[in-house]
Amino acid sequence: MNDNMAALAKGAISVVVVAGVLVAGTASLFHISVHRSTPAGGPPGQPAPAQPGAPQPSAGGATLSPGQAQAPTGTPQAPAGAGGAATQTAAAPQGQQSAQSPPAPQIQPAPPPPPPRKGTDFSFPQARWDALLAQSGDTASSASLANSGKPEAGVAACASCHGAQGVPAAGTPFPILAGASPAYTVKQLLDYRDGTRQHPIMTGIAKGLSDQDIAAVARYYGSLPAPPLKPPAPNPQDRGQVLHGFGDNALALAACANCHGANGEGENPMLPRLAGQSDTYLATQLDAFRSGQRANDDLGTMRDIAKRLSAEDQAALVKYYSGMRQP
């Protein structure tokens, strides 16, 4: 009995040993097969990583020698921070930008103001006016034209606006003609007639006057005595008096007296009397010069002056000159 049990145990051990040997051999064969079909260093189905220094195949299949770089394929990507614009141009160096920038504009100094003008500076091509004034004419016919007009030509009497003796009523918008320079009166009537100076009344009157009529009227009023003046006492606080006598350098304004005389009576045959004119007439003419409605002044002198005057300065001048008229 014991002998039989020992024999069975030995037989079982032999079977187990044989089975273990068979399993070990099968596993060894399977490992060898998998090792041969799988590249070293990677799982099945993936290429093995390149070994350092080993030749690399190119995109076309050719083998590249060590040190040769494969050319990049496709469009290169913009570097990070480029804002997504792959074609952004690099900024030029600071020195190059300065060289390409336009030069800064040069500030030119302001031109100096024109020198003050004087009454003797004015010269006019008055040969035509002198020729008109040299024509013969009697005083009686001149007075008749001034006081009665020329009805057949639709010309009203000058006296209806300018007064019987060439002195209109105070406060009216008409100038004093008595004692006026004949050359100045001729020029103004010719300017009215040819449209150089515009006025709703005077333009029509001048168009009805002949050259002989204009000369006759100018001589007549020039022969009448100018009204007496009442110059004011010196007053450095009177802005109008200061502008008349000294001007204003800050405004590039010459003294009015330089051209219109020390008392505003007119310094030159072509420069009119200001003293004693009505405040309405003086203000109207300065406004017309400022706006350009009146533009028959020499070289635009009065237009420039009127534009520099403030409303307060103009009012002061008007008050100063109109205040010289005696009641």
pLDDT in tens, 188-229: 999 999 999 999 999 999 999 999 999 999 999 999 999 999
Report DSSP state, residue 57: E
Q: Is 63's pLDDT higher than 90?
A: no
Average pLDDT of the chain, as a whole number: 78
CA distances in angstroms from 33 to 25, 48, 160, listed in the order given: 13, 18, 140
21 band by pLDDT with thresholds 50, 70 and 90: very low
Q: Is 71's pLDDT higher than 90?
A: no
pLDDT, mean of residues 255-259: 95
**Element (H or E) spanning 322, and its range?**
helix 311-322
* Domains of the chain listed by start with CATH number: 123-227 (1.10.760.10), 228-327 (1.10.760.10)
C-alpha span between 244 and 115 (Å, rounded): 17
Q: Is 148's pLDDT higher than 60?
A: yes
In this structure, what token pair is assigned to residue 250? 């800050």
* Residue with token string 């004087």: 118
Decide if 296 contacts 197 (C-beta within 8 A): yes
C-alpha span between 276 and 279 (Å, rounded): 9
**239-248: long-range contacts, CB 8 A cutoff, minimum separation 24:** 239/312, 239/313, 239/316, 240/316, 240/317, 240/318, 240/319, 240/320, 240/321, 241/320, 243/313, 243/316, 243/317, 243/320, 244/317, 244/320, 244/321, 247/116, 248/313
Q: Which amino acid is at 165?
A: Q
Q: What are the backbone dihedrals phi and psi of residue 89, each rounded to the nearest 5 degrees, phi first?
A: -80, 135
